[in-house]
């Protein structure tokens, strides 16, 4: 991406944010790698998204570029498997970086800021299907969810994620050798807490020690749409 186009995309995403936070933010998952020379512009876009209250921006580092000379220090095989599952669900035959998935459905290649802003706005305008709230007491987090009247009662999973708001590293080998990289919202853990179909309200209390933010996603099974998300900073 040319420098002036990258700057325009960053500014577009920054100023597209509303003045107040929304109750059901849009989730943007960036599949990225420290060994991918095309990824830094998308990583920069994620920094802009991370500053928005109406978006939950998540960096999921994958491990399939490790063979080209640099092992991604933040990568997880689970992130690679999640990206593969999204590809299967969408009928795609391959995976790549950088790729952004918006609310579990829309795919945006690379650092296409205008396209990404359009997809975020479209998902933000959709009617809410699940009421989701998180509360914390000490190290315990309580998840409460209930289906909005009229929403479909289909199988869903409730996932709890932890991420580190900022991580940096000096890359000494591979395509990005010699660069000091700073990454936003690096996902470190993802656990399925429950399966739920919305027939009855859901309430779960779990331990979430440490200072890293907590994110909960409610998503249709088989890597379908994300219908609710919430965060505790």
pLDDT tens column, 33-81: 999 999 999 999 999 999 999 999 999 999 999 998 899 999 999 999 9
Residue 128 near residue 198, CB atoms below 8 Å: no
Parts of the chain with a pLDDT under 70: 1-23
* Domain spans, the chain: 3-232
Supply the pLDDT for residue 23.
61
Supply the pLDDT for residue 57.
98
**Which one, of 104, 120, 107, lies nearest residue 49 by Cα?**
120
Supply the pLDDT for residue 24.
81
Supply the pLDDT for residue 12.
45
Strand order in the sheet with 26-32: 106-109, 99-102, 26-32, 55-61, 179-196, 156-171, 214-220, 226-232
CATH fit for domain 3-232, picks 3.30.910.20, 3.40.30.10, 3.40.50.300, 3.90.1510.10: 3.40.30.10
pTM: 0.89
Supply the pLDDT for residue 18.
36
**Which one, of 116, 122, 123, lies nearest residue 44 by Cα?**
116
Question: CA quadruple 106, 110, 115, 117: dihedral positive or negative?
Answer: positive
How crowded is residue 199: how many other Cβ atoms within 10 Å of its Cβ? 8
Alpha-carbon gap, residue 86 to 101, rounded angstroms: 8
Supply the pLDDT for residue 63.
97
Supply the pLDDT for residue 152.
83
């Amino acid at each position: 991406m040319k420098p002036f186009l990258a700057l325009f995309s960053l500014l577009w995403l920054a100023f597209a944010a509303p003045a107040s936070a929304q109750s059901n933010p849009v989730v943007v998952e960036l599949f990225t790698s420290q060994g991918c020379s095309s990824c830094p512009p998308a990583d920069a876009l994620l920094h802009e998204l991370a500053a928005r209250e109406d978006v939950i921006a998540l960096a999921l580092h994958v491990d399939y570029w490790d063979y080209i000379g640099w092992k991604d220090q933040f990568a997880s095989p689970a992130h690679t498997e999640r990206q593969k599952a999204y590809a299967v669900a969408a009928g795609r035959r391959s995976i790549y970086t950088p790729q952004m998935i918006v609310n579990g459905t829309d795919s945006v290649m690379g650092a296409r800021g205008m396209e990404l802003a359009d997809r975020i706005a479209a998902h933000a305008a959709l009617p809410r299907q699940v009421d989701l709230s998180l509360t914390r007491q000490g190290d315990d987090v309580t998840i409460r969810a209930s289906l909005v009247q009229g929403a479909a009662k289909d199988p869903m999973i409730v996932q709890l994620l932890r991420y580190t708001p900022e991580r940096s590293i000096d890359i000494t080998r591979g395509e990005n050798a010699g660069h000091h990289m700073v990454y936003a919202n690096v996902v470190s853990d993802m656990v399925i807490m429950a399966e739920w179909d919305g027939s009855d309200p859901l309430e779960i209390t779990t331990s979430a020690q440490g200072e890293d933010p907590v994110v909960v996603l409610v998503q249709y099974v088989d890597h379908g749409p994300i219908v609710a998300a919430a965060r505790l900073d």
